[in-house]
Amino acid sequence: MKLKKILYITIIILLLAAAGVLWIITPIANGYTAKYLCSHTFTSRLDADIALERFVKPMHVLFRGVVPEIDTAAKEVTVKYFGFLRPRTAVWREGCGCTLLVDRTANDLHKQHEAAHINHASIAADTTNALWPMGNLVNRDSLRDTINWAAIDHILDKEMQGQSTTGAKRNTTLALVVAWKGQIIAERYAEGVDENTSLLGWSATKSVTGALTGVMVKDHGLDIHAPIGLPEWAGDVRKDITIDHLLRMESGLDFDENYTPMAKATEMLYKCADMGAFAAARPPAAAPDQRWVYSSGSSNVLADVLYTRVGSSPEAMHHLAYDEFFNRLGITTAVFEHDESDAFVGSSYLYMSARDWLRVCKLYMDDGVWNGERILPEGWVQYSLTPTPNATDACYGAHIWLNAAQEPADRQMPGVPTDAFMFKGFQSQWIVGIPSKDLMVARLGVTHGEERWSPEEVIVGVLGVLEGNEK
């Protein structure tokens, strides 16, 4: 009888523990699913059912309990665990993408949006008949006699089919584009995706936030080495934090960059109305300049700083991003999504076509000059691609990943030249530029768990063909 009582108590404790875990997990699982499916459906205009089964539920066993309701008329997605538990809703707005509701209602966001008077017009110039990157035409004829096209096509087809010489399992690649000598030489897209589909860059967004910082330096006189001077930082070492520290991930702010349910990165993305303010409120773990810690929080503090410095309004921020940057590069597919404060989510939520992601990469390949016009300040690219002293194995510059470690084994891509730089994001988003080879590669898609996709095999294979080793 005593043993039976112990067993009952044990079962009750386990059930309570499971209920507690579920209570913690469900707002994160529901929030992630609502935001992801909303953007996937209304920003990328892709199939929500496919995304749910292939991209969301494989995230974690506990994500299998999410049940979405998609309102195509209102452009909202509500997700309830088991169909009833702890609902979360994401709302799409023209020009702003999807925003996960935290403190406000959908009606609040729509009224906020109407009051902002954001200009959603794309570039005025007609680029229909211009070659990429100035336009969207792709013509391989000029290179027809110099490249083994069958070999190039085989490399890309193999990747799209999920094959690898290493035997590593691939998940879904949505877009794979290769550009050489300023021309697109090959591209592949998953079913339903094309050259105009806006795709999520996750943390590749950080590199564009860094580029917008450069525009602010050039055109608005922003000083990246002056203390930012947030009032809540006045009483401790945070008073010395500069934009340079944020760009180089050396702010010293206490922020754990992992995506467990209790992590600050998870809380910021799925529980916070103002992500930059949340990150800025973190206590110091070290003085600025003393350590390198990769942090999405730093990128969202930076996005908030840009928002404030450019005019503290969504209109002014959109003018900076679209009129002063995207439109000047001929980028027409960009959707930079907002949090409830109407600041950009500078760490994670930029959507663009693979071709447009490569346009930003090309800007860095060309020292910040586009079609003869300087977009980024002189010296900005060199600054951005200079390794941060405290970064492990010279892996990071200023909001851009590097391949600059002295030892090949310490590089992110050992078989790729050391001057390669990368815009990288969660689930294996890669936009890679290699100046010494005049080569760029963009991969956007979904990779789960330990099945990390790297473009190294593609890059090495393509370089082998281009340099004549496969002819």
- Based on the structure, what is the number of domains in the chain? 2
DSSP E strand boundaries for 41-171: 66-71, 76-81, 85-93, 97-100
- Please check whether residues 73 and 203 belong to one and the same domain: no
Contact 139, 146 (CB under 8 A): no
**Per-residue pLDDT tens digits of the chain, which is 471 residues long:** 577 767 766 676 665 555 555 666 788 999 999 999 999 999 999 999 999 998 999 888 888 899 999 999 999 999 999 888 889 999 999 999 999 999 999 999 999 888 887 765 544 445 567 889 998 888 877 776 778 999 999 999 988 887 655 544 556 899 999 999 999 999 999 999 999 999 999 999 999 999 999 999 999 999 999 999 999 999 999 999 999 999 999 999 999 888 776 788 889 999 999 999 999 999 999 999 999 999 999 999 999 999 999 999 999 999 999 999 999 999 999 999 999 999 999 999 999 999 999 999 999 999 999 999 999 999 999 999 999 999 999 999 999 999 999 999 999 999 999 999 999 999 999 999 999 999 999 999 998 865 567 899 999 999 999 988 654
Contact by Cβ (8 Å): 458, 173: no
pTM of the predicted protein model? 0.93
Note the helical H segments in 288-373: 296-310, 314-318, 354-365
Q: Where are the alpha helices (DSSP H) in 52-148?
A: 106-116
Answer whether residue 126 is part of any domain.
no
CA angle 281, 216, 351 (to 5 degrees): 75
Alpha carbons 112 and 114: distance in angstroms, whole number: 6
The residues facing 177 across adjacent strands are 187, 442
Q: What is the CATH number of the domain that holds 218?
A: 3.40.710.10
The three-point CA angle 230-236-242 to 5° equals: 45
- Give yes or no: residues 276 and 367 share one domain: yes
Distance of CA 139 to the CA centre of its chain: 29
* Residue 219 to residue 241: CA distance in whole angstroms: 22
For tokens 């409830």, the residue is 340
User: How many CB atoms lie under 10 A from the CB of residue 5?
Assistant: 9
What is the residue range of 372's domain?
152-466
Residue 123: inside a domain, yes or no? no
Q: Is the domain of 79 the same as that of 228?
A: no
Q: Are residues 234 and 306 in the same domain?
A: yes
Look at residue 145 and tell me if it is in a domain. no
